Amino acid sequence: MKLTIHHETRYTYESPIEDSIQYIRLTPRTTPQQRIHDWKLRTPGETSQMVDGFGNLVTVMTLTDAAPEITLVAEGVVDLTGKPLTRDDSPFPPQVFLRQTDLTDADEALKAFANEYSANKRSLVKLMTHLREHISFMPGATTVTHTAREAFELGAGVCQDHTHIFIACCRHIGVPARYVSGYIHSADVDHVATHAWAEAWIGSNWHTFDVVNTLNVAESHIKLAVGLDYQDAAPVRGVRTGGGTEQMETIARVIRASSQ
Amino acid sequence: MHIQTPAPGLYDELFDENNRVRPHCRMLEQWLEKSDEGLIAEKRREANVLFQRLGITFNVYGEDQGADRLIPFDLIPRIISASDWQKLQAGLKQRVHALNKFLFDIYHDYDIVKAGVISAEQVFANPQYQPGMQALKLPRNLYSHIAGIDLIRHNDGDFYVLEDNLRCPSGVSYMLENRRMMMRLFPELFAHSSVAPVDQYPNLLGETLRAASLKPDPTVVVLTPGRFNSAYFEHAFLARQMGVELVEGADLFVHQNKVYMKTTVGPQQVDVIYRRIDDDFLDPLAGNPQSMLGVPGLYSAYRTGNVVLTNAMGTGVADDKSIYPYVPDMIRFYLDEEPILKNVPTWQCRKQKDLQYVLDHLDELVVKEAQGAGGYGMLIGPTASKKEISEFRSLLRARPDDYIAQPTLSLSTCPTFVDEGVAPRHLDLRPFVLSGKKIQMVPGGLTRVALKKGSLVVNSSQGGGTKDTWVLEADL
């Protein structure tokens, strides 16, 4: 399946910002599951590249002149091959993903919830399904700093929260699990196309767990970055000087390209 | 002055088991014998005034107002014979060499895990393991350029390694200042003995930091969290001694994956950062987003090889107390040598069998947090109350993975000035090991002394003091 992606993020400020530096993870890698064609990332300022410890492609943007706004545009064409996840495309032994972080650390309530499940695919699919029933999808209910415990207690959140909670449960029961940020194609064009889901290590393979959509295959998912949690895989992390309050608008479209 | 002799069953640095003065300590004992109490009291006051004036004070965590306070300095030096030092030095170099090889291995090919010497979970799920270090090429494959190894001498007379400090070990400024103080107060003592000098340490440290980069003449800075940090004095002291800039995060910036220092004549590229800031606070875009101490973008410069951090990120996984029991095996695995220095036998409470033993022998053992430092989360069984023991029992049952236990070692004693006169007090030793083009040490270290009678806790945050550490150039 060939998909065309257009993703635009615009930050506007109360007053011009003086400078900024950002780590931008908006460039997908070619893997057995996805082939990347013509990918472009447009940013203001100067950019350089790095590959982080998880193997994610990171664009480092530095802005040294006053700017009233920052617009980031990522676009390109990706071919999804439909191949299942394999033994590993991560540079690490899976045990790295056993460690809880501030965002995923499980409290007693989460541990009690997780203890009902065990380290096999059937059980984890049940966990995913029950979590989805328990946590409603409610944009605006949480922010990017919400932890798995907080969202679990709230019983609401967005894909990031569902993913953190699922990861927290997996790690608690000894299953390595990692956070994935990316895009998802949906027949419904207005559907939010930026997405987050989890991958869990069962047996000797990674498996997809898209909690919000209760899917355990990644047939319409484009992977941008992986990490221990949102902080590692966030599409944009930055700091700036000046600017006052920030407003963010984002448009992300994933459209099926006409087959050739 | 009268010197109290040590309690039986302990190793004393001055007296042997028959209360005879050890031959290499005779000169010290003679000096103490003929020194009059009034003079010593006078010198102690003088030392206090001088330390206060120098600004060597210490901020104690958990104390109200974080007021600066002097670490008590004891005038009686601790003496290490030339032959003991030879063995210590060889053992410490061997140990740090193996630890650096371990760090390289666990961020590259994991040979030690593949060989089954240590489990993947213990290495990779350790909170100190830094995924961001994966496959990063560092000059000379060095991670812990500056290591501080804590040792104690047991009643068998042997030195045991208690803990490896591979992140930002502090205390070396006390080693240097204590020596200066002693030379100033008692120049005659040095005239009649062959105490090895330590004042070349800043030069060796500078050499080590420059060797951390492959550039011919790298620019080195010392990065401090600022003057509210408990070790700020040391950061400023070492920068001044080496003649390099002392900077805070706000003095540096990153552009196009390179680090620059703001100077009056414009930006200057920085090649080596001797950082005294914890991993998580180095770059708010890679670690703790709330950190104001670090430099945004620093990780990108590090990751792309444009700056060297000393010590490297992610060294904490090798000095974690849960990894400590494996250090002798690391020495065998990487160097194919037998460890020269002993490790303290350690029960890992994560193992069911070990946990059971520990729970059954809590009144005999020392229990420590695997991640702790500073002597806060610790149980010393033989001196603990029933209540403390029962509290630790619940902690151990709830979170066994977080604890290790060791036998209560009898730290050696050394005569020390206290209110009751000159009496034996327990002490430890932290020598510093520098890894650059080669592994180097100065003959000495920081000796910490527990000033409370019978106490085994030497941490300055818990009321410990320091002594000058004399390594003799030759034994008599």
Q: Same domain, yes or no, for A43 and A148?
A: no
Q: B66 pLDDT band (50/70/90 cuts)?
A: very low
Are the beta carbons of B134 and A91 separated by less than 8 Å?
Answer: yes
CA neighbor of B246 nearest in space, from B256, B234, B257: B234
In a domain, A202, yes or no: yes
B122: closest CA of chain A, how far (Å): 9
Are the beta carbons of A22 and B285 separated by less than 8 Å?
Answer: yes
In a domain, A137, yes or no: yes
Tell me the C-alpha distance between B291 and B208, whole Å: 28
Length of chain A in terms of residues written: 260
Are the beta carbons of A48 and B127 separated by less than 8 Å?
Answer: no
Q: Same domain, yes or no, for A102 and A227?
A: yes
Tell me the C-alpha distance between B362 and B395, whole Å: 12
Q: Same domain, yes or no, for A126 and A225?
A: yes
Supply the pLDDT for residue B376. Answer: 59
Minimum Cα–Cα distance from B107: chain A residue: A92
B298: closest CA of chain A, how far (Å): 11
Bridge partners for B437 per DSSP:
none
CATH number assigned to the domain covering B345-407:
3.30.1490.270
Q: Same domain, yes or no, for A166 and A208?
A: yes
Are the beta carbons of B285 and A48 separated by less than 8 Å?
Answer: no
In a domain, A71, yes or no: yes
**CATH 3.30.1490.270 occupies which residues in chain B?**
345-407
Are the beta carbons of A237 and B289 separated by less than 8 Å?
Answer: yes
Are the beta carbons of A96 and B130 separated by less than 8 Å?
Answer: no
Domain of residue A44, residue span: 2-82+235-256
Please, what is the end-to-end C-alpha distance for chain B in angstroms? 24
Bridge partners for A10 per DSSP:
A71, A249
Supply the pLDDT for residue B457. Answer: 82
* Nearest by CB: A50 against B121, B127, B303: B303
Inform me whether the pLDDT recorded for A19 exceeds 90: yes
Supply the pLDDT for residue B65. Answer: 41
The C-alpha torsion from B259 through B242 and B443 to B47, rounded to 10°, is -120
Inform me whether the pLDDT recorded for B64 exceeds 60: no
Dihedral sign computed on CA atoms, order B454, B456, B462, B467: positive
Q: Same domain, yes or no, for A118 and A192?
A: yes
| Coil/strand/helix, residue A193 | coil
Q: B56 pLDDT band (50/70/90 cuts)?
A: low
* Nearest by CB: B120 against A21, A60, A93: A93
Q: A200 pLDDT band (50/70/90 cuts)?
A: very high
Q: Same domain, yes or no, for A102 and A219?
A: yes
Minimum Cα–Cα distance from B314: chain A residue: A53
Counting one residue from chain A and one from chain B, the pairs whose CB atoms sit within 8 A come to 81
Supply the pLDDT for residue B38. Answer: 86
Residues of A in contact with B292 (CB under 8 A): none
Supply the pLDDT for residue B69. Answer: 61
Q: A88 pLDDT band (50/70/90 cuts)?
A: low
Residues of A in contact with B127 (CB under 8 A): 99
DSSP strand E in chain A: where? 2-27, 34-42, 46-51, 57-63, 67-80, 136-137, 156-157, 177-184, 194-202, 205-209, 221-227, 236-242, 246-256
What is the DSSP pairing of strand B220-223 with strand B272-275? parallel
Question: Can you give the three-state secondary structure of chain B, one letter per residue?
Answer: CCECCCCCCCCECCECCCCCECHHHHHHHHHHHHCCHHHHHHHHHHHHHHHHHHCCCEECCCCHHHCEECCCEEEEEEEECHHHHHHHHHHHHHHHHHHHHHHHHHCCCCHHHHCCCCCHHHHHCCCCCCHHHCCCCCHHHCCCCEEEEEEEECCCCCEEEEEEECCCCCCHHHHHHHHHHHHHHCHHHHHCCCECCCCCHHHHHHHHHHHCCCCCCCCEEEECCCCCCCCHHHHHHHHHHHCCEEECHHHEEEECCEEEECCCCCCEECCEEEECCCHHHCCCCCCCCCCCCCCCCHHHHHHCCCCEEECCCCCHHHHCCCCHHHHHHHHHHHHCCCCCCEECCCEECCCHHHHHHHHHCCCCEEEEECCCCCCCCEEEHHHCCHHHHHHHHHHHHHCHHHEEEEECCCCCEEEEEECCEEEEEEEEEECEEEECCCEECCCCCEEEEECCCCCCCCCHHHCEEEEEEEEECCCC
pLDDT average, residue stretch B458-473: 88
Q: Same domain, yes or no, for A98 and A46?
A: no
Inform me whether the pLDDT recorded for B44 exceeds 90: no
In a domain, A200, yes or no: yes
**Span B122-154, pLDDT tens digits:** 999 999 999 999 999 999 999 999 999 999 999
**Span B452-461, pLDDT tens digits:** 998 888 877 7
Q: Same domain, yes or no, for A161 and A213?
A: yes
**Span B79-112, pLDDT tens digits:** 999 999 999 999 999 999 999 999 999 999 999 9
Structural domains counted in chain A: 2
Q: Same domain, yes or no, for A50 and A153?
A: no
Inform me whether the pLDDT recorded for A64 exceeds 80: yes
Q: Same domain, yes or no, for A133 and A213?
A: yes
CA distances to B199, B247, B270, B347, B352 from B210, rounded to whole Å, are 19, 17, 11, 40, 47
In a domain, A89, yes or no: no
Task: Give, for A148, the enclosing helix (H) or strand (E).
Answer: helix A148-154
Supply the pLDDT for residue A161. Answer: 97
In a domain, A87, yes or no: no
In a domain, A88, yes or no: no
Q: Is B374 left (phi over 0), alpha (psi -120 to 50) or beta?
A: left
Q: Same domain, yes or no, for A250 and A188?
A: no
pLDDT average, residue stretch A83-104: 86
- Whether the pTM exceeds 0.80: the reply is yes
In a domain, A110, yes or no: yes
Inform me whether the pLDDT recorded for A257 exceeds 60: yes
DSSP 8-class letter at A29? P
Q: Same domain, yes or no, for A74 and A100?
A: no
Supply the pLDDT for residue A191. Answer: 62
Tell me the C-alpha distance between A31 and B230, whole Å: 48
